[in-house]
Amino acid sequence: MMSFTETKTIALLIFITAYILFVFLPKKRTLIAVIGALLLVLLGVMSPKEAFFAINWNVMGIFVGTLVVADIFMESRVPAYIAEIIVDKAKNTAWSILLICALAGFISAFVENVATVLIVAPIALSLAKKLKINPANMMIAIAISSNLQGCATLIGDPPSMLLGGFAKMTFWDFFLYKGRPSIFFAVELGAITSFFVLYFIFRNLKQKTTLIPVEKVRSWVPTIFLVSLIVLLALSSFLDTGFSYAAGIICMVFGIIALLWEKFINKGSVIEGIKSLDWETTLFLAGIFILVGSISSTGWIEAISGFLSGQIGENIFLGYTVIVFISVLLSAFIDNVPFLAAMLPVAVSMSNKLGINPSLFLFGLLIGTSLGGNITPIGASANIVACGLLKKEGYEVKFSHFVKIGLPFTLAAVISAYLLVWFVWSSRLVR
């Protein structure tokens, strides 16, 4: 039987190896996470029971259930139909693009970012073809707008779900937390600030555009499902104040209802619907929970937080700034889900050592990790999908081209959100 020191060393080695491989083999990230989790169990670092309970099943339920509802919402063509109306009502092309980005952001607050890009992309490409312009800037703007708003609500994106599960935050807590404005308002301030960056990019497109309507709404029922899901998640906050089960159950129930509706009303295949879901990300999330659980149970979280706390001393503003901007920098190149999952317990541990309310560091961490991915074409899945769609249309996006738009957009959004979180939460530092 291994000693605790050996167990601790193996846990760290597997964790570090997995994270390095995430960077260099991003397409194999799910396989790496699953193999890492299995190794932890097979080598005796964690028992099967410990691994099972290391997974936050409430978050998993939210993710899978929301995926199903988002999928049928996309298939209903309601978002694309609304996008066409927006383009026709806008006073010129610049405002058409800006409003399409705003629509993408709104949808992304409730639907996974990649799904949002796939929903809105056909309208953007149609508009570009009509105007005979390169759609690259437009598609990049849609992707980064989607990523920005994805962290505004509990169900917008996996990082928000991770934070919600870890901090036991309800759907409503993302709007008002402990009597103060929460992460939603920081994100919206970032959206307003970054909107001016997008306006500067598209300001010269003055021509008026009218699209010939081609989208027909197949059904409004998925929209009703989505709105009902959001309302029930908000109400569940009062029933499950510890964020332990209700949100996940509600999302899974709605996912099952959506699948049955697709089967009996639309005559679709339930099996095909289940197969088409993003099971890769689902397994990836499960693997990450186990990897992070291993370094937490072996004491490494405390060690890391102790080191970082030692570096910043008693300077809380410095600690907050370091957490936000290191997160921005690293998330531009590595997957934000494993990074956030690893850093959440570190942020809380640092807060405890400094004797402050952990909300400051946790919100700063979410802002940095969620928005940092907007800097590069490989920083977020939505960016990769957008660039893939452009390549399919014959437009290659250079790394430098993406950064030229993504960097100023990200800095504008992050700095304003970072300042608002500090302004709201720094006055409540002492518990």
Give the model's confidence band at 137: pLDDT under 50 very low, under 70 low, under 90 confident, else very high. Answer: very high
DSSP state of 251: H
pLDDT of residue 431: 44
Distance CA 303, CA 283 (A): 28
Q: Kindly report, residue by residue over 12-59, the tens digit of the pLDDT.
A: 899 889 888 877 887 788 899 899 999 999 999 999 999 998 888 877
pTM reported for the whole predicted model? 0.74
Q: Is the pLDDT of residue 404 over 70?
A: yes
Q: CB under 8 Å to 260, separation ≥6 — which residues? A: 270
Yes or no: say if 190 and 371 are a contact pair by the CB < 8 Å rule: yes
pLDDT confidence bin for 165, thresholds 50/70/90: confident
Which position has the higher pLDDT, 52 or 292?
52
So what's the pLDDT on residue 210? 64
pLDDT of amino acid 430: 46
Confidence of residue 423 (pLDDT cuts 50, 70, 90): very high
Count CB-CB contacts under 10 A for residue 287: 25
Tell me which of 217-221, 366-370, 411-415 is least confident: 217-221
pLDDT in tens, 86-113: 777 778 888 888 988 998 898 888 877 8
Please report, to the nearest 10 degrees, the dihedral formed by the alpha carbons of residues 151, 152, 153, 156 taken in order.
Answer: -40
Token pair, residue 266, equals: 């639309």
The rounded mean pLDDT for the chain is 83
Question: Are the beta carbons of 249 and 64 closer than 8 angstroms?
Answer: no
More confident residue, 410 or 94: 410
DSSP state of 176: E
